[in-house]
A and B are shown apart, each in its own frame.
Chain A
């Protein structure tokens, strides 16, 4: 963790937090008594750590449990992502939040790797030795290989691994460490049989293998989100059965919940959904990773305005404005490969093959857009190389998406194509259809066209283009309403405003710490939405925190909580 605030302010905050949390969680079990929550603090951002610890402590108001925090970093992660990672800060913070122990899991992995083929190193956590024999089967070699592959691709910042990559020192190091992570987490879970794992990420070796261990041991996973106020998904063991990955199970669960709880209440929610969708046009309430600034707002209101802008946008690419344009949104090519259902070998494979298809599909314009943060995920120049390959093909254009304002991009796009990008819920909310070559959190909510296989992807894409050419609207009013409901659900209902976690946009400076200190000193804790929402989610085994009691509101209370009676 790093500190972008004054250390004295941090110390003052820790002193207050320590008193606050010592009085706001149940007493931890002692001796051999059960009860443990594992919390990950492997991200350097203080806001992420606060969210994880707050959710964990909210659970500790529901049942008594030890709080065990695992943290740390290594040279590869520090080089790839972190600017300053200091585990001593994590220890201080975790202690203030009444953690029972903080382990440097990377340091433990270092010891494993140093031991080589020798006996596994001894370790004690929260006064309990980690067993050498877990009495459970280890992770499958195939799953481990996939994790090694995804982690190495991310750390090397390449879209796919070549033989040269596999022969590199970095790859060998990642492989050895990943194998060690699997063993460490297995021992940790065997030692405590934790009640829950709280984690901000579910991918790569140091996060993903903890989630994998949780799934194999039947431990609920709370996946806290790094955006908004307080957002968290939850996956309970009985809900994950049969799903290939954590994210795939979550997708199914969210789809079921949406269908059962949100869609039937659409009449109550509609005006609020319109409000959120209106705010989204101005880029208000955006997720933390979305781009901001003047180019990110959508200011078009009428079809005439769109058509006018479209003429200018098309001229820039040499496109004929009257012909439909398909926009293909590239992903950060090394980001979390294979962690949900994806039909192509990898994200780059999907992008390359779609470009190949586009070359011969001359009845529409094609615009291939690069991810705004690609520089953090790709050092191989994959997008530029592909753009060069198709230079001179008149109906195919390539551009970094940040070079285009949303106004220009949306005036040009008649069909969006992605694997799992959030444009697949954003575009349909405004009447623009999307085709998905994989799953995302919302892909089971009936918003976009989700391909079921590679063959189905080509067929779906071809069908959508055919319909575009006939001028038929591809997005039904129901799909548009579902997309707007998802906007409302994601940004409003599933985002819990609590004083204990200032909104992400409050930053991570002195100001954040002062706000928290004031809250902990002056606001009484009972009824804090963080506590009530967590209790509700846990007791009902719902897939996310919600600010409303949505499942109980079918009798009509939701309407009162939103706009009341007309």
Chain B
């Protein structure tokens, strides 16, 4: 039997080969439409909001998508006629603030507004964003969706996509020489329209720095828009039965009446325009004469405020405002992980024009480090706390540094480009050596050497080399987003229970790439966090790391390679572990979901992929996949099924047990109520007769059980407890 939607008659759709530009809606490559009407000469128009198209594209590398959007007279007409009457006020010519979403995520935003002084909609915008090759799989689609920005300020048009025209979609390979915008010291941003004091801040990629927008104010003189033609009904009504039938003459008269009505409507709009223009011409001297006073009054400094509103629903942030005459400069320093709008409020309405926009990343600073660990810590922390968020580049060499360096929003801490930078923590501290507590943080090109440490059971976020987020938050936190840990080496003096890299709580969009760990507890530990002071005194919701990408992880002679506890949307690829007691674990952690704002509504344990792992293991098991957990609050055991979770392409090699290891049966793969996990291409090297290949819900079996997809637990032993829980490790069961 074929796949779900396939029939024998389905034929493959020929994908677009790059570079490609779609300029009409008729091609087969536009495979899927939703709320979108295909056009000829244009790609089409959105008839609903949100609406989307799905295009078949073939690529083996990253792509750059360029979308040309237009709002025109027809756009207003479509909006007026297609948006339900219950949507008020009826403003078909209003500004359209739209999210541009692709492959399940918001990529950018666009603001289309009627030009100053224009009677009709006539606005175009080009948006551009990049996608990785993985995001455009061969058997998938390139999806382009326009959606209302629900977090938008009041006054923007609802159902904003309705009528918006797609002129062209271009898909190009991303040029190899392109670098992310954030790497450039100063980047000019596009200057777009300002609609009612609202303008868009949508960098091409997540970026930290100082954003400066310069705007010029003029007297508010809104030109009333043209009226929208009423919908045209049928040309004529069929006469009732028995009444004389329509003659050709009657039909001709009906047609003539229709055309006359249309001509009258157009003429009345023209006449209306003429009158408005005339009135404006007559009053122009007065308006121009009063303009300075009008603007000065409107821009009374104490009443000019600006607020940056992230369109992903994040907390609005205040911006600094400087008023000079009729020029206003809005400044925001921080991190922008996605599109946002800036809302300018004034004493009285004014007309705005964007003059310039830029983002500035200050030049990086390099401290002169000494042999004094505490002095080094203080100096680096001082640089990291600079208001301009200048990147801190450490010099090459080996330097002692005290633990507890905190990295807030937009901070970058990197090693030298021309040599190795090694930070040595002389004494173990509970505070992480590097503690990431904000968004847009980058830590790269560093080696970190730490002593062994022996944290308590719930100290998973302490005593680490790097921690992102927290286990216990004093109050509801902002999410830490767009964090990158790249090219890091963590060396512990020996095996211990302290984690090397910990990711906890309110963390999303995190990249961990090319991290090498030797010694210590778990190489990369990922775990939920919550508001409260301890496990038994949680007062707020729980937070679950998600949208994580972990690649190129190397762990040697440590307790464990990595674990994922109570997370979702995670991809782990290319991991090599040797001399580890445990390769990796998947755990539901907060499986009772009791701390989530809405019980049962969390996506925990879904959309997880682990692939390409090589594990040389010397402890109780190479991998443990468990769907159950025991709460440490009340001891209750509960179960959470996995959804859309795959473990694939893993090679598990048995190594001799450690000399002081407890005498117990070792099992390569331990499955405990691991419902919903698809296991494929998991290869077990023959470890000898004393090694159990698979222990599934307490029942030992050979490797054959891994031959097919594994769904669900063996019913006979579904409630089996777990043996051999590693002491001192934060296993995330509570």
A interface, CB within 8 angstroms of B: 2-4, 6-8, 84, 86, 88-89, 271, 274-275, 277-278, 281, 294-295, 298-309, 311-312, 315-316, 320-324, 362-363, 394-395, 403-405, 407-408, 410, 430-432, 469-472, 477, 480-481, 484
Shortest Cβ distance from B677 into A: residue: A471
Q: Closest 6 CB pairs between A and B?
A: A322-B606, A362-B600, A311-B104, A278-B9, A320-B603, A431-B4
Stretch at the interface among B26-34, B274-282, B290-298, B548-556: B26-34
Shortest Cβ distance from A322 into B: residue: B606
Bound-complex Cα distance A323 to B147 (A): 22
Residues of chain A within 8 A (CB-CB) of B31 are 299, 301, 305
Shortest Cβ distance from B143 into A: residue: A308
Does B568 contact A322, Cβ atoms closer than 8 Å?
Answer: yes
Residues of chain B within 8 A (CB-CB) of A320 are 568, 601-603, 606
Shortest Cβ distance from A429 into B: residue: B7
8 A Cβ contacts from B46-82 to A: 48, 50, 52, 54
Does A405 contact B35, Cβ atoms closer than 8 Å?
Answer: yes
1/0 contact string of B98-124 vs chain A (CB within 8 Å): 000101100000000000000000000
Q: A302-B6, A304-B137 are in contact. List 15 more A-B contacts (CB 8 A).
A: A3-B241, A294-B33, A294-B38, A301-B10, A302-B3, A307-B644, A309-B32, A312-B104, A315-B147, A316-B50, A321-B607, A395-B598, A431-B5, A469-B643, A470-B675
A405 to B: closest C-beta gap in Å: 4
Residues of chain B within 8 A (CB-CB) of A407 are 32-34, 54
Bound-complex Cα distance A481 to B7 (A): 11
Contact of A362 among B9, B12, B601, B606 (CB under 8 A): B601
B283 to A: closest C-beta gap in Å: 46
Contact of B644 among A298, A299, A322 (CB under 8 A): A322
Does B675 contact A471, Cβ atoms closer than 8 Å?
Answer: yes
24 A-B pairs (CB sep. < 8 Å): A8-B245, A274-B8, A278-B7, A298-B5, A300-B5, A301-B6, A301-B12, A303-B3, A305-B31, A305-B54, A306-B4, A306-B5, A307-B644, A308-B54, A308-B143, A309-B34, A320-B568, A362-B599, A407-B32, A430-B5, A431-B4, A469-B676, A470-B711, A481-B1
Does A89 contact B241, Cβ atoms closer than 8 Å?
Answer: yes
Shortest Cβ distance from A311 into B: residue: B104
Q: A274-B7, A308-B54, A312-B104 are contacts. A470–B245 as well, Cβ < 8 Å?
A: no
Shortest Cβ distance from A4 into B: residue: B238
1/0 contact string of B641-666 vs chain A (CB within 8 Å): 11110000000000000000000000
8 A Cβ contacts from B299-353 to A: none
Bound-complex Cα distance A432 to B104 (A): 22
1/0 contact string of B1-43 vs chain A (CB within 8 Å): 1011111111011000000000000000001111101100000
Any chain A CB within 8 A of the CB of B168? no
Bound-complex Cα distance A395 to B601 (A): 7
Shortest Cβ distance from B676 into A: residue: A471
Does A480 contact B606, Cβ atoms closer than 8 Å?
Answer: no
Residues of chain B within 8 A (CB-CB) of A295 are 34-35
A390 to B: closest C-beta gap in Å: 13
Residues of chain A within 8 A (CB-CB) of B139 are 302-305
Does B676 contact A470, Cβ atoms closer than 8 Å?
Answer: yes
Shortest Cβ distance from B4 into A: residue: A431
Bound-complex Cα distance A300 to B38 (A): 17
Bound-complex Cα distance A312 to B101 (A): 8
Residues of chain B within 8 A (CB-CB) of A306 are 4-5
Q: A281-B5, A362-B598 are contacts. A301–B147 as well, Cβ < 8 Å?
A: no
Does A477 contact B141, Cβ atoms closer than 8 Å?
Answer: no
Shortest Cβ distance from B36 into A: residue: A294
Shortest Cβ distance from A9 into B: residue: B245
**Contact size range, B:** 35 or more
Does B241 contact A312, Cβ atoms closer than 8 Å?
Answer: no
B251 to A: closest C-beta gap in Å: 12
Prevailing SS type, chain B contact patch: loop
Question: Most B CB atoms within 10 A — which of A302, A307, A324, A407?
Answer: A302
Residues of chain B within 8 A (CB-CB) of A88 are 242
Residues of chain A within 8 A (CB-CB) of B603 are 320-323
Residues of chain B within 8 A (CB-CB) of A322 are 568-569, 603, 606-607, 643-644
1/0 contact string of B390-407 vs chain A (CB within 8 Å): 000000000000000000
Bound-complex Cα distance A394 to B643 (A): 19
Bound-complex Cα distance A322 to B547 (A): 13
Shortest Cβ distance from A363 into B: residue: B600
Any chain A CB within 8 A of the CB of B540? no
Does A430 contact B4, Cβ atoms closer than 8 Å?
Answer: yes
1/0 contact string of B208-249 vs chain A (CB within 8 Å): 000000000000000000000000000000101110010000
Does B145 contact A312, Cβ atoms closer than 8 Å?
Answer: yes
Residues of chain B within 8 A (CB-CB) of A472 are 711-712
Does B104 contact A308, Cβ atoms closer than 8 Å?
Answer: yes
Residues of chain B within 8 A (CB-CB) of A307 are 140, 644
Residues of chain B within 8 A (CB-CB) of A299 are 31-33, 54
Residues of chain B within 8 A (CB-CB) of A84 are 240-241
Bound-complex Cα distance A185 to B507 (A): 74
Q: A312-B104, A320-B603, A470-B712 are contacts. A305–B676 as well, Cβ < 8 Å?
A: no
Shortest Cβ distance from A478 into B: residue: B1
Does B9 contact A274, Cβ atoms closer than 8 Å?
Answer: yes
Residues of chain A within 8 A (CB-CB) of B32 are 299-300, 305, 309, 407
Question: Most B CB atoms within 10 A — which of A404, A430, A470?
Answer: A470
Does B675 contact A315, Cβ atoms closer than 8 Å?
Answer: no
Q: A294-B37, A312-B145 are contacts. A271–B8 as well, Cβ < 8 Å?
A: yes
Does A315 contact B34, Cβ atoms closer than 8 Å?
Answer: no
Shortest Cβ distance from B8 into A: residue: A274
Residues of chain A within 8 A (CB-CB) of B48 are 403
Bound-complex Cα distance A66 to B609 (A): 73
Q: A84-B240, A305-B141, A362-B600 are contacts. A316–B147 as well, Cβ < 8 Å?
A: yes
Shortest Cβ distance from B135 into A: residue: A308
Does B601 contact A308, Cβ atoms closer than 8 Å?
Answer: no
Bound-complex Cα distance A8 to B33 (A): 44
B325 to A: closest C-beta gap in Å: 44
Residues of chain A within 8 A (CB-CB) of B676 are 469-471
Q: A322-B607, A395-B600 are contacts. A301–B13 as well, Cβ < 8 Å?
A: yes
Contact of B606 among A3, A86, A323, A431 (CB under 8 A): A323
Bound-complex Cα distance A432 to B644 (A): 17
Shortest Cβ distance from A302 into B: residue: B139
Bound-complex Cα distance A307 to B32 (A): 13
Bound-complex Cα distance A394 to B9 (A): 40
Question: Most A CB atoms within 10 A — which of B13, B35, B569, B643?
Answer: B643
Does B5 contact A469, Cβ atoms closer than 8 Å?
Answer: no
8 A Cβ contacts from B83-102 to A: 101
Does A275 contact B1, Cβ atoms closer than 8 Å?
Answer: no
Residues of chain B within 8 A (CB-CB) of A274 are 7-9
Does A86 contact B241, Cβ atoms closer than 8 Å?
Answer: yes
Shortest Cβ distance from B12 into A: residue: A301
Does A321 contact B104, Cβ atoms closer than 8 Å?
Answer: yes
Residues of chain B within 8 A (CB-CB) of A469 are 641, 643, 675-676
Bound-complex Cα distance A321 to B603 (A): 8
Shortest Cβ distance from A480 into B: residue: B1
Residues of chain B within 8 A (CB-CB) of A277 are 7
Residues of chain A within 8 A (CB-CB) of B568 are 320, 322
Bound-complex Cα distance A7 to B600 (A): 64
Bound-complex Cα distance A277 to B12 (A): 17
B60 to A: closest C-beta gap in Å: 16
Q: A304-B137, A322-B644, A395-B600 are contacts. A477–B1 as well, Cβ < 8 Å?
A: yes
B571 to A: closest C-beta gap in Å: 14
Residues of chain B within 8 A (CB-CB) of A304 are 137, 139-140
Contact of B643 among A4, A403, A405, A471 (CB under 8 A): A471
A563 to B: closest C-beta gap in Å: 12
A90 to B: closest C-beta gap in Å: 11
Bound-complex Cα distance A403 to B51 (A): 10
Shortest Cβ distance from B643 into A: residue: A322
A251 to B: closest C-beta gap in Å: 27
